[in-house]
Amino acid sequence: MSKAGLRILVVEDEAVFRHSLVTYLEHDGACVFQAEDGIEGLSAAALYHPDIVLCDLNMPNMDGHEVIACLTARYPEVPVIVISGQDQMAAIERALRAGASDFFIKPVDDYGQIRRSIDQCLTSNAHQSQQLELMEHIDFFRAHDLASSRLLAWLAPPGMQEWGPWQVTFAGMGNLFIPDTFKLGDKLLVLVMELPILGVDAAFCGALVRSLMNGPYRQYQQQESLLLTQPHRLLDYLNLQLLESGLRHSFSMAALLFDQEDGLVFANAGLTSPHWLMRSGGLPLGLMRSSRYGLHKRSWHEPFELQFRSDNGSALKMQVRHH
């Protein structure tokens, strides 16, 4: 079967093997996307909508078992083939029970075996597509809450982060708020995301935003882009990317840029607390392509404290210091 136009996602942390496999698949005509770990893999699945996923098990940040669980819950129509160095029967059985369609043990001497497995998965998948469409909503809300909760826990930062002279502490109840911080020269960028839902889609939303920040941050470090220093433009960028992802969920986020000399500049996409942030709010991310977010400014004095609250009782308390 020709692979022309086929979209394949390869989630593999071993660079040499990943490059070799990707080269083989591309030579066969496929459009191949790559991810180096589990969190990047989930984000890539949301962004690129692959027809099939090839996934390792032993990876940093999030292992392949959790990736399979999240993928089969969120995208039950997408086959997952495992290629791993684990040869224990327990690992193989666990992967297959989680939803993997096939399992290969490294080293793989004949990539033709993987090619044939892809053909079989896609042929079988075409016959089952109507059934899967009817069962999708049932499967979506079944198991895998544990896998999603673990991913959200991995996304959450430690209770205190230090970036040179900057110190940020977090404390809260629930896991609907996910904060993140970035040191930008003498400034500090703080993102606070409020997830409106729990379960598989919450995990995908959190992973996707974390992945979308990687590119702009690398570009800033290489002096190629100043997007991260413009909170309103950053929210514009994230909004468009989320609409392209197809997750079909909106959520709120604020971007706050702290500077000792220039004060605090910020933009808000839907957060309803604290009150001064709510007054400067726009629509949540992922609702409208035409949304544009305003840039606002205020003074701040350390220790600067903020408290974010959701309607269901979750809360996040944050304190920023500069010393």
Give the model's pLDDT for residue 25.
Answer: 94
Taking the C-alpha atoms of residue 323 and residue 320, their distance in angstroms, rounded to an integer, is 10
- Domain span including residue 224: 147-322
Q: Pick the last residue of a domain from 127, 143, 159.
A: 143
Q: 16-30, 110-124, 262-276: lowest mean pLDDT where?
A: 110-124
Q: Does residue 219 surpass a pLDDT of 50?
A: yes
pLDDT digits (tens, 9 = 90+) for 181-215: 999 999 999 999 987 665 556 667 777 787 788 88
Domain identity same for 219 and 131: no
At 123 the three-state DSSP class reads helix
Give the model's pLDDT for residue 83.
Answer: 93
Domain identity same for 238 and 103: no
Give the model's pLDDT for residue 92.
Answer: 81
Give the model's pLDDT for residue 86.
Answer: 83
Give the model's pLDDT for residue 198.
Answer: 57
Domain identity same for 297 and 152: yes
Please check whether residue 122 lies inside any domain of the structure: yes
CATH no. for residue 190?
A: 3.60.40.10
Residue 259: burial class (beta carbons within 10 Å; 0-12, 13-18, 19+): middle
Q: Please check whether residue 200 is in contact with residue 140, taking contact to mean a CB–CB distance below 8 angstroms.
A: yes
Q: Does residue 290 surpass a pLDDT of 90?
A: no
pLDDT digits (tens, 9 = 90+) for 159-182: 888 899 999 999 875 557 888 899
The total of other beta-carbon atoms located within 10 Å of residue 109's CB is: 7
Q: Pick the last residue of a domain from 98, 128, 143.
A: 143
The tally of domains found in the chain comes to 2
Domain identity same for 235 and 292: yes
Q: Please check whether residue 16 is in contact with residue 52, taking contact to mean a CB–CB distance below 8 angstroms.
A: no
Q: Please check whether residue 67 is in contact with residue 37, taking contact to mean a CB–CB distance below 8 angstroms.
A: no
Q: Does residue 69 surpass a pLDDT of 70?
A: yes
Please check whether residue 222 lies inside any domain of the structure: yes
Please check whether residue 154 lies inside any domain of the structure: yes
Please check whether residue 83 lies inside any domain of the structure: yes
Instruction: List Cβ neighbours of 25 (8 Å cut-off, separation of 6 or more).
Output: 3, 8, 10, 32
Please check whether residue 49 lies inside any domain of the structure: yes
Domain identity same for 221 and 85: no
Domain identity same for 134 and 163: no
Domain identity same for 303 and 171: yes
Please check whether residue 1 lies inside any domain of the structure: no
Domain identity same for 156 and 255: yes
Q: Please check whether residue 269 is in contact with residue 232, taking contact to mean a CB–CB distance below 8 angstroms.
A: no
Give the model's pLDDT for residue 190.
Answer: 96
Give the model's pLDDT for residue 192.
Answer: 94
Give the model's pLDDT for residue 143.
Answer: 46
Q: Pick the last residue of a domain from 84, 112, 143.
A: 143
Please check whether residue 262 lies inside any domain of the structure: yes
Domain identity same for 286 and 173: yes
Domain identity same for 109 and 170: no
Domain identity same for 182 and 156: yes
Place of tokens 């994230």: 238
Please check whether residue 107 lies inside any domain of the structure: yes
Q: 27-31, 129-133, 243-247: lowest mean pLDDT where?
A: 129-133
Q: What's the mean pLDDT when you consider all of the chain?
A: 84
CATH no. for residue 43?
A: 3.40.50.2300
At 135, the pLDDT band (50, 70, 90 cuts) reads very low
Domain identity same for 75 and 178: no
Q: Does residue 139 surpass a pLDDT of 70?
A: no
